[in-house]
Structure formats: C-alpha cells, structure tokens
A = this chain, B = another copy of it.
Amino acid sequence: VQTSWTLGQIAVLAGGQLQGDPGIVIRGIAPLQTARPGDLTWVTSAHFAKLLAHSEASAALIGPDLSAGDLPVVVCPHPDRSLARVLSAMEPPVPHPPPGVDPRAIVPEDVTLGEDVAIGPLAVIGSRVRIGARTRIHAGVFIGPEVEIGPDCVIWPQAVIRERCVLGARVVLHPHATIGADGFGYNFIDGHYERIPQIGRVRIEDDVEVGANSCIDRAKCGETVIGRGSKIDNLVQIGHNCKLGPHTCLAAQVGIAGSATLGSHALFGGKVGVRDNLVIGDRVQVAACTCLAEDVPDDSVRIGVPGIDKMQFLRELGALRRLPETTRLVRILLKRVEQLEAADHKTTR
C-alpha cells in the first residue's frame, strides 16, 4: 500500500496543473479545517480559498478561478472530480470476504454462483438464489429464496433481502438495509385491521446504492422499482409499489409512501416526505424537510410543509417574518380609519 505521493504525482492523478514544487511529499488528505503538514486539502469556492492562508496543509486542489496565495496548488477544471480521483488512489484496501464460500456460511446446493463470488461467514442464502460474478456478500447477510443478484454487487454485513427480489449489476446495499419486507397495507374491517397480502417483489436496477438501515418494501403485487443509477442514503423508507426513475438521489431519512412515482434525476434533501400515490416529475428538486402532498411537474423546485414552489415559499416566508409587525399595523390602521370615519361623519353631517 502506497503511503506517500509527490505533489507531481498528485497533479497527474488529479488531472490538474501544478503550481509549486513537484517534489513536495503528500502523506494524506484532509478537509481544510483539520489538514496538517503533509496533507493535501481542497477548496472549491473563493470563501474557503481565503482560509487557505491559515491552513497547515502542504498543498491544495483548487478550482480554476481561485487563488491560494503562496501555497503550492494543483489547479483543476473540476476540483470535485479530481478530489474523487485522488481519494481513490489514497483509499486503503476495503475489506471484503475473499472469493469463494466461507465454510461457516449457509449456502444450499441449489444456488447458482457466478465466477469469483465471495460469501462471508454466517451469511444465510436461500434456495435457488442466483448471484452474479464477483459479487461480495458480507458476513451475516440474509438472502431469501429465489433472489437474483447481478454481478459486481457489494452486500454489506447484516443486510436482508427477502424472497424473490431482484438486484441488478453493481448494486451496493449498506448494513442493515432491508429489501422486500411486506408493504404496509391493511383493510379496516369491523374495528380492526386485516392484512392485505403483499405478493410482489422489489426490483433494484443497475448501479443503485441503498444506505444503512434503509427499507424498500415489496409490492402488494407487481414490483417496487428503484431505477438504475439511483442513490439512496441511510434510514430512508420506500413504500410498496413505488417507482423511482433512473438517477434519483434521496438524502437520509426521506420517506416515500406507497405507490408514489418519481421521475428521473429527482434530487431530494434529507427528511423529505412524499404522500402515497403522488406522481413526481423528472428533475424535481425538493428541499430538506419538505412534505409533498400534491403531484409535482417536471423541473420544479419544492419546499415547505406542505411543499410549494420555491419562489412562492420565499415570498411567504419573508411576509411571515414581518407578520407580527403587519398584524400590529392592521390594528393601528383600524383605529385610524375609525377616527377618519368619525371625522367624516361630523364633516358631512
């Protein structure tokens, strides 16, 4: 494992232009506030570039229009992408179970395993499960019967995938993710709830990531679908029969109620809630803590409880901030109008 790099090597990794001594030795990478001598850091805005003067970092990745004073820098057209490449080079090996089936895993005879599948200890695999090449199943994962998993997936420890669900290629499930638990559906009959069977499944398309302790419920019938390339953070709830378009991005603690549909490239902040059966368009952006209660057309930006157009929200918020003063003014106006009316009465009598 490489543990130091010259700044010249960093510039090549980053795909940027070096300004400074290429021989400077870099041993790690750290955010601006905590960088120490030997560390590379990065800034992407003029605000933070000013703080570089006070940083102990030995060098920085910076955007093309930023200045870093005397600090050696690598100027990058896309510093965020350059940062990802440098992080990737510096990443210590991520521990996965080695290819093969750990003898302490529980794997029935009738499973189909692709080349170099890795299954860790105490994983429990159901009958007729199919797992694609190079997929790594960590310790303690539970996979129900007839689940299909594509190649190059990573299933982190203690994730659960219930029967018949389907995962595409390069899917990542983080610890304690729950895929395919029963949808939440009951009929209320004679004062009590009767369960509606949830006989469908979950289908997760290629390149999806599902965060730790997140839940995606199986469909009442048919499929709950997570579109390809979607990224789902921790503690997110996706109800039964939801359809997420490709490349949706949901931050932590989002909740999508049953049968809601999200278009492609939806971008939701943390804790957003979506009512059941809504239809949300493509490229919709929703601010954190918003609660959507109505359908949303393509290319909209929503915020608030209930969620409304952002511009309208900001106008209302400004007016709300002045509301105590406005209310006081209305009371004063009432008195002044009463005085005018009294005077008017006298004048015209």
Contact = CB atoms under 8 A, between A and B. Distances in A.
Interface of A: 28-31, 34, 78, 80-81, 83-84, 87-88, 90-92, 94-95, 104, 106, 120-122, 124, 126-127, 138-140, 142, 144-145, 156-158, 160, 162-164, 174-176, 178, 181-182, 184, 186-187, 189, 191-197, 199, 207, 209, 211-215, 217, 220-223, 229, 231, 233-235, 237, 239, 241, 247, 249, 251-253, 255, 257, 259, 265, 269-271, 273, 275, 288-289, 291, 293, 304-306, 312, 315-324, 326-327, 329-330, 333-334, 336-337, 340-341, 343-344, 347-348
Contacts of A321: 312, 316
Contacts of A186: 231, 249
B122 A124 contact: yes
Given A87-B197, A124-B139, A158-B176, 18 more contacts: A84-B187, A84-B197, A104-B106, A158-B160, A193-B231, A215-B235, A237-B252, A237-B253, A257-B270, A257-B288, A288-B291, A304-B305, A306-B317, A315-B324, A323-B323, A326-B326, A336-B341, A340-B341
Contacts of A312: 321
Contacts of A91: 197, 199
A289 B140 CA distance: 35
A213 B326 contact: no
Contacts of A288: 257, 273, 275, 291, 293
13 contacts: A80-B187, A87-B199, A122-B122, A138-B142, A158-B158, A158-B160, A160-B175, A175-B178, A192-B207, A193-B249, A195-B209, A252-B257, A322-B327
